[in-house]
Amino acid sequence: MEFGIVELSRLQFAMTAMYHFLFVPLTLGLSILVAIMETVYVMTNRPIWRQMTKFWGTLFGINFVLGVATGITMEFQFGMNWSYYSHYVGDIFGAPLAIEGLMAFFLEATFVGLFFFGWDKLSKVAHLTVAWLVAIGSNFSALWILIANGWMQNPVGAQFNPMTMRMEMTDFYEVLFNEVAQAKFVHTVSAGYVTASVFVLGVSAWYLLRGRHIELARRSITVAAAFGLASAFSVVLLGDESGYSATHSQKMKLAAIEGMWETEAAPASFTAFGFPDQEARTTHYAIHVPYVMGLIGTRSLTTSIPGIEELESQAETRIKSGLIAYDALMHIREARDNADPAETARFEAHSADLGFAFLLKKYVDDPRQATPEQIVQAANDTIPTVWPLFWAFRIMVALGFGFIATMLYFFYRASFKGMDFPRPALHLAVWMIPAPWIAAELGWFVAEFGRQPWTVDGVLPTAMSVSALSMTEVALTLAGFVIFYTVLFVIEMGLMLKYIRKGPFQDVEETDAWVIRHTERLAGRRNADAIAMPAE
């Protein structure tokens, strides 16, 4: 592959987006965990919960600020590096981004300051409200950015306008309730909740191993395990929902994830393991689990899922149809206001395939001049590189099941074994901390790399989306971001570790009266929630 401006711009986008996504999942989940802890504090009035709120709140703050800072790059680099994309789909894609600012960013950013500075200025209930507003704001922002991203995966509710040479919105509700966007939203926020739960669990386990801050750590584990268990189930089930929606909208991505070269008779089997070979178009040493793929992808035993080669030949047909649309478009544009109705009708009949004609722009300036070989080549381009998708997906799913198992275990120990955690389990929890980040980054990779060669699936090829910049400019900013982000990352990790080592500002002792009642309750009903107690 030739390395040009497109590849360099993609590298920069991937790097800045994946870096941004190191901080976002923790923000999504920790904002809610902190709000839950503060809710318990307000309901029970017990100082330990206030201490927990403040301690995890401090770590939340260190992480939150980098999520905000790196998010700024995301908001602006579409215009900087992807200006044709911005022009071409800004009419649809820009709206959720702006709504995200209005509805979510203002909410979280305005109240996050008050969360840290308002402890002495607000009543307890008012401060709790502020904590929840920060959490809701963070989660709303995920909703809107995933509506925008969902549209790139499944561009509904929009139509090409020959007069403006761009896609324009025809139905906002379709964009909003895009099934891909909705499935992605719930999957992504659940992933964030799992990330934060594993983080809280791991850090608390480390305290228990060291015999420090035991009161704080045991309660934190209990909250994290309960919340994490629900989230881990939800991230896997809703990930399955994403797969199901991809069956309708992104067949090629699904087939590539599966390494499914040829269409199988329904119900298709799931390839649990194998080595996909792009050249030979086969998956070596494949281990198949019968029926599973058909059930996941179509939720039926009779619908078949198309394989890569079938989709490739469909792409070739669509390229040829797209060429008719392209030719009609050129005539309409020349005539401007006096377009021939016959040309308009011809264009409209084929406009759904216009994007496929653009795939040829990589080879010829005027797609109508393309040779048959170039058309075959362009159809071949619609197949993403299979092996990274195949493996990234499988590792992500395995980690997902790992989270369910871990959370289930800690939830059991916390609820039924009086918060007694064996040391090996605590060690495991500490080592587990990086795992949700790996899963989240792989998930991003599967979604975005799997969409190639498109920025907007079937509408706009990536190669056409870039700005007319020089290699030098993009190389300079890429180098700048790498240096800059590395320094920030080192500083952030340093501070995180410092504050984790330092622990809470001061340990809070439970009152004697509370401890006595707590012990009594444990003795009386071992299965009762040992934590939640009425206010002293």
β-sheet bridge partners, residue 460: 456
Q: Residues 294 to 333: which contact other proteins by CB under 8 A?
A: 333
The answer to the question of residue 525 lying near other proteins (CB under 8 A) is: no
Q: Residue 130: name the closest of 26, 62, 31 by CA.
A: 31
Choose the binding region for other proteins from 97-105, 202-210, 280-288, 520-528 (rule: CB under 8 A): 97-105
**Residue 513, CB half-sphere, CA atoms under 13 Å: how many?**
5
CB of 175 to other proteins, least distance (A): 10
- 302, 338, 472, 527: which one contacts other proteins (CB under 8 A)? 472
The answer to the question of residue 497 lying near other proteins (CB under 8 A) is: no
Q: Are 75 and 13 in contact (CB under 8 A)?
A: no
- Give the Cα separation of 228 and 432 in Å (integer): 13
Q: Residues 6 to 65: which contact other proteins by CB under 8 A?
A: 61-62, 65
CB of 68 to other proteins, least distance (A): 6
- 39, 44, 83, 385: which one contacts other proteins (CB under 8 A)? 83
Q: Residue 218: name the closest of 426, 431, 33, 45 by CA.
A: 426
Note the Cα 333 to chain centre separation in Å. Answer: 39
- 248, 284, 498, 501: which one contacts other proteins (CB under 8 A)? 498
Q: Residues 143 to 172: which contact other proteins by CB under 8 A?
A: 161, 163-166, 168-172
The answer to the question of residue 91 lying near other proteins (CB under 8 A) is: yes
- 14, 17, 68, 482: which one contacts other proteins (CB under 8 A)? 68
The answer to the question of residue 501 lying near other proteins (CB under 8 A) is: no
Q: Residues 235 to 274: which contact other proteins by CB under 8 A?
A: none
Whichever of 168 and 277 has its CB closer to other proteins, that residue is 168
Q: Which residues contact 442 (CB under 8 A, 6 or more apart)?
A: 392, 393, 395, 396, 399
Q: Are 72 and 263 in contact (CB under 8 A)?
A: no
CB of 43 to other proteins, least distance (A): 23
The answer to the question of residue 339 lying near other proteins (CB under 8 A) is: no
- 45, 98, 287, 520: which one contacts other proteins (CB under 8 A)? 98
- 237, 398, 476, 516: which one contacts other proteins (CB under 8 A)? 476
Whichever of 211 and 341 has its CB closer to other proteins, that residue is 341
The answer to the question of residue 416 lying near other proteins (CB under 8 A) is: no
Tokens of 97: 């981004």
The answer to the question of residue 105 lying near other proteins (CB under 8 A) is: yes
Contacts of the segment 427-431: beta carbons below 8 A, 24+ positions apart? 427/205, 427/209, 429/198, 429/201, 429/202, 429/204, 429/205, 430/202, 430/205, 430/206, 430/209, 431/202
Cα–Cα distances in Å, from 16 out to 23, 73, 128, 357, 465?
12, 7, 33, 30, 17
Whichever of 286 and 330 has its CB closer to other proteins, that residue is 330
Q: Which helix (H) or strand (E) holds 284?
A: strand 282-289
